[in-house]
Structure 1
Amino acid sequence: MHSRLLPAQPETAVYRALDHRPVSHEPAAAGSHYTEASSPVAGTNGEGPATLSPPACDPQAGRDPIFVTQPYLPPLHEFLPYLEGIWERKVLTNNGPCHQELERCLGDYLGLKHVSLFANGTLALMTGLQALDLAGEVITTPYSFVATSHSLLWNRLQPVFVDIDPETLNLHPDRIEAAITSRTTAILPMHCYGNPCDVAAIKAIADCHGLKVIYDAAHAFGVTDSGGSILRHGDLSVLSFHATKVFNTFEGGAIVSPDAETKQRIDHLKNFGFVDETTVVEPGINGKMSEINAAFGLLQLKHIDEVLAERRRIAAFYRQHLTQVCGITCLTSSAKRHNASYFPIFVEAGYPLDRDALYALFKRKNIHTRRYFYPPITSFPMYSALQSACPAGLPNTYSAADRVICLPIYPGLPDEVVQTVVDTIANAS
């Protein structure tokens, strides 16, 4: 499928040798709301029953820390031919052949026609909002990563925060309806942890009031509902291909548009507003994805099904065993096919520890979980003064922020560590 992007000569011995060369790395510090540790992993297993190898005794004693996620990296020797092709063509950016091919291949994989690649998901979100010609107020979620609401401020839009559904952790449709004013122009929901929003209810509200809908789909790569990709909903859907996502291009993102005309405008906006060599039609930015990032995405697509299968296998094991633990609740999903991008659990009142104590217990075992999303966006100074940011109006948001913890899940996570995570939760006192 990608042969025209690879160098003409056959694979050399150096590629074969590099296949078995260990990759050294220094993992970043974990535990921050803003950063997620990332380090190379190798190998995946196919999707199968929720079983693991026999656990070792205290498997983390004296070992490197386990982080909540790690990026999937295909074998290095598979990437080198793509790099050679780039070196031969000497095209590094500006809608090069790898960029064009990745847009096409992503569209084929996701079942969508109009995909625009970006340097990162935040630039994609900012550009998508610009493309919709919005003004005034945009209703959005307080339970997300800060980039969701930051993109509104960068577009001089007023965030209006409404509470989430306590079961799905997505925007509650009833709260959206109640927050609409004469200044409301759009809704910016987020598919939290890859769990689909109530897209039918949100569409009905938007259609009734003449509002645009732009989905923050940073967590939702590969997620489907009964009709296909969840990304087909709304006026736009925005993806992140950050290193911590299930599909990554080191850094990257994309916008899914409903038609060719919208995609064309977005493509102008991400390239300084250029239509051709001498014509600029609007004040765009430089949001383009490089050829190296796009090439890595092409290689990632070859492995994405095995990556998702391994994540689902680990998620199934967690769910099978943790649903039996008193005081622990697993998040349910309405997706026909979920991507297991995260595995959040609720630490309830009946559990012997509160969420922060469980987080600290894992940290003592050198296992870094994540309190995600904690604290809520509305607690940060650029938002806290807004009337809609008052905690009293967001009880479900603040309750979730105090109870949710995300467990380690990624391809290459050792089975004995997964078992240790389960045992730690089950045996805490």
Structure 2
Amino acid sequence: MSYFANIPAISYEGTQSKSPFAYRYYDADKLVLGKSMRDHLRWAVCYWHTFAWPGNDIFGAGTFERPWKPGEPVTQELAQIKLDAAFEMFSKLQAPFYCFHDVDAIADYKNIAGYSRELDVIADKMAAKIEQTGVQLLWGTANLFSHPRYAAGAATNPNPDVFAWAAHQVRSMLEVTNRLGGANYVLWGGREGYDTILNTDIGHELDQLGRFMNMVVEHKHKIGFKGAILIEPKPHEPTKHQYDRDTATVYGFLKRYGLENEVKVNIEVNHATLAGNSFEHEIATANALDIMGSIDINRGDPQNGWDTDQFPNNVAETTLAMYHLLEGGGFDTGGFNFDAKVRRQSVDAEDLIFAHVGGVDVLARSLLAAAAMIEDGELKGFVDQRYAGWRSELGNKVMNGSAALDEVADYALKSDLEPKPISGRQEHLENLINRFA
């Protein structure tokens, strides 16, 4: 049984194509700044929204009728149907990567031994699919937020037995990710926070989370996993407050627990905007702190205040983020994972394809625009010139630590300094961006 039988393989046809089943901008082998589009973008399809979400929301039941029956109890037979459909879709899209949580793919289980057994079953089958199709695993992760046991968190739970269950899941999925050749392992603390501070010991929970992260890193080295460990920031939802609210907060946490050289961030667009930040701010911050890892590419709806996880469709917004990504050297082990879902009314197989084709083309157009900005050099040149004073004798002495506060203050007095404001040229630079995007 083939769910995508009536859909052709998606290929590049150029900007003149009117086919909805073709890439108009994504030419996988096209060289951009000396590297192929495929290698720049390293894009992935996510297993959860695409194959596990039934199309429900808080006001209504699922709307999707798929052969693998999302939202219903998962037998091994249904897990197999889902796996077959997933890799068929990956192949038709020419997707280089995919991502998954453990529970997205496995059959239902009754206890911890059953969990381990079902995960081993699906991991063997995934290994065969990877070998058959060439689609690689960008990252794996354990779902530590959906089951009722995690209502009060996983690593931050007040019950150490829940902590232990979470440790078993993460160990299992980290080992499966390693076994499948995954490039990264992601830790998203969906409930690592609190709903009310009235029943919460913040310091204790942070110490629990810090120890958990260190245990994960220790196990990574023990099993020889060469990929990156990533944390995905999010400020709230489903909890009132989460400890990994944005990239800067994550960095402070990593520094406190000695993890800044071991763990990087997996930035999500919609999580950045929920935190009150822009997508490009999160990337630029991660670059500045040297913790840029990977990206979940999606968007929110500006008229909604929650995580709508829509596919990206705004080239101008994505271009500036892409510019900062390229300026920081681009991806190492990371990539663009489409952590996005079609709308509840988009019930057909074709809708899953249209969403990914459009999203990939948005990334490709943004890549071309950002590369043109880098080759043009005007934006970087302006920023470099704005900070040129720091290359002076005074600036160098301040930044290399050889000047004390007294010396700098005396310099200001002796020179009778009276600095005047200099235009930041914001409007000019905004116009400049629009020339490319």
- TM > 0.5 between the two? no
Structure number with the bigger relative contact order (C-alpha 8 A, sep ≥ 6) is 1
Structure (1 or 2) with the greater helix fraction: 2
Range class of TM-score, shorter chain: under 0.3
